[in-house]
Amino acid sequence: MITMYKFRWIIFLSIIFLNYSFLHTNYMFLKNNFHHLHLYKYETEYYDFYNKFKHPILSSSQNDTIKSKLIEKNKNSYLLFERNLDYITNTNKILSENNDSLVLGINQFADSVDFNENTNNDLMKYSINKNTIINNYGNTYLKPFKNPFSYMNKLIQQKQSHNWNNTEYLSPVKNQERCGSCWAFSTTSAIETFMRMNNYTVDRLSEQELVDCSIENNGCNGGIMHKAMDFVIEQKGLHSNGDYPYNGVDNNCTNLNNIEKITGSNITKYEFIIPKSPLDMMISVSKSPIALGLDANNFYFRFYKEGVIDVPSNFSQTLNHAVLLVGYDYDEKGFYWIIQNSWGESWGDKGFCKIRIKDNLDSEGALMCQVYGVYPTK
């Protein structure tokens, strides 16, 4: 009787122990993986993003543990990535429902650009207001057409467009990295194209020389393209990127007097344009690509992937980024600009972007890149 009693107790305690072990094991599993199950909804997307744009992960395994550990190690980076990807996904859904051609996508800025904080180091810290440009340089307006869009409708009927990317003159897409040197990149790309149009051979001019030595500008904190052109004229050209390589930080100006500058880079004149109508800019870009200013501190431009950006008027009035306008084309909704950016080929459509041309520059924001531009002429 006692033996049977003890045996029952042993069975009872064993069952309790086994249940406890089972419950404890599951508790620990849930505890260790709760964040994985409930918080990190973009683990795979972040893992792929990190591999492509940050540092390739050496481990060949792609299990959930490795992904969650990566997120734990880069928590702030992931949270910003998640917020941006949420917005990209929701925006693309709305654009698709409205049959809009614009598509946004993940790129190198997904975990670093926070529009809530407005601390984007790759843009020019010393941004320019549209009205400041007009007030200071308004006497350089080109003569406007009385009815530019009537003329543009004729262009559409004649199926006219222009794109320097379809020629052998345009420079490849470059990458300014985390330095606000866009003004230098748009300037050198405009000059390089001009040189090739005039039968000079050029690989790449030195953006770093402009960053370090153009004292009228502010290096990685920003600059203005016509002042960069002035520097090139005063210095009678630029050195090659090979002789003065780009490193994306502010340095003291290096004296390269013993090294010859690139033949043909010694421009002597440039055109400064503040358009009164889109047609002004269309006529100018048919002559040469234009280094121009626009507003890049918005979600549509920053995460542009493909299609045409078409935002409301008065979207922005600030110039904080420089690009190269390389042409224009049209679709069923009208004309659009084609620009080459300096954020590498992983941004946009292999480094390029399309922006809808609007019919009223006075009410239109700076994003439409129709505010201020320069290009070499001699």
Number of C-beta neighbours around residue 26 at 10 A: 10
Q: Is residue 361 part of a domain?
A: yes
pLDDT score, position 260: 93
Q: Is residue 10 part of a domain?
A: no
Residue 309 is classified by DSSP as E
Q: Is residue 86 part of a domain?
A: no
pLDDT digits (tens, 9 = 90+) for 131-153: 555 555 544 434 344 444 454 55
Residue 128 is classified by DSSP as E
CA distances from 35 to 30, 31, 39, 86, 223 (A): 9, 8, 5, 18, 45
Q: Is residue 345 part of a domain?
A: yes
Q: Is residue 197 part of a domain?
A: yes
- The residues, any chain, with a CB within 8 Å of residue 12's CB and separated by 6 or more, are none
Q: The pTM is what?
A: 0.80
pLDDT digits (tens, 9 = 90+) for 209-241: 999 999 999 999 989 899 999 999 999 999 999
213 is catalytic: no
Angle value at C-alpha 188, between 182 and 192, nearest 5 degrees: 145
pLDDT score, position 310: 85
* CATH number of the domain bearing residue 137: 3.90.70.10
321 is catalytic: yes
Residue pair 365/317 in contact by the 8 Å Cβ criterion: yes
Name the amino acid, one letter, at 369.
Answer: C
Residue of 182, 213, 353, 369 marked catalytic: 182
Lowest mean pLDDT among 11-20, 177-186, 341-350: 11-20
Closest CA to 304 of 150, 153, 113, 159: 113
Residue of 213, 220, 321, 369 marked catalytic: 321
Closest CA to 41 of 59, 76, 68: 68
Where in the sequence is the domain holding 260, given as residue range(s)? Answer: 128-376
What is the rounded CA–CA span in Å between residue 348 and residue 354? Answer: 9
**What domain count does the chain have?**
1
